[in-house]
Amino acid sequence: PEYSGMTGDGTSFLMRAGVARPLSEGGGEAEDVTTELRTPRGLDVSMRAGMGKIDPASATMRLSGGVSIETSTGYTITATGLVASTAQTEVVSDGAVTANAPFGTLDAGSMTLTSASDDPAAYVLVFNQGVKLIYDPKN
C-alpha cells in the first residue's frame, strides 16, 4: 500500500508499507514503513520505521518503532520516532537522535527539519537539547 501527496510548500511525500490497516477514526496504520520526501530544491530524505500512522485530520504522519533517516546531503540519523506534517515541510523527532554527518557525529535531545522562514524553498535541519558534537575533519 502507498500514500502520497504534496505539502503546501511543494515537498512531495510517498509512504509505502508492507502491511496497512484503516483506522475507524480515519487514516490508517502500517508496518514496515518507508517514507520518501523530495523538496522543490532537490533535497531527498528517506525514512524507514517499524510502524507508521497517517492522520488526515491533523495532517500528520507518525513513524515509530525505531526510525532511520538518510538525506541526500550525507546525514544518517536514528530516532525512536518522529512526526512529519503533510501540510508543510516539517519533521520533528519524538525524542533523542543520533546522527552521522559529513562533519562528524552528534547526539541531541531533539531534531527538527523545516523550511527556512526567510526562504520557504530553503530547508533547515536543527539539532538541540544537549547536543554533543564530535567534529571529524576529513582532511
pLDDT in tens, 6-28: 998 889 999 999 999 999 988 89
Best CATH choice for the domain 2-135 from the list 2.60.40.3950, 3.40.50.10490, 2.60.450.10, 2.40.50.140: 2.60.450.10
Residue 52: all three cell numbers together = 507508521
Contact (CB, 8 A) for 21 and 27? no
Q: How many C-beta atoms lie closer than 10 Å to residue 103's C-beta?
A: 14
**Domain residue spans in the chain?**
2-135
Q: pLDDT above 70 covers what percent of the chain?
A: 98
Each residue's pLDDT tens digit, 42-65: 889 999 999 999 999 999 999 999
- Mean pLDDT in the chain? 92
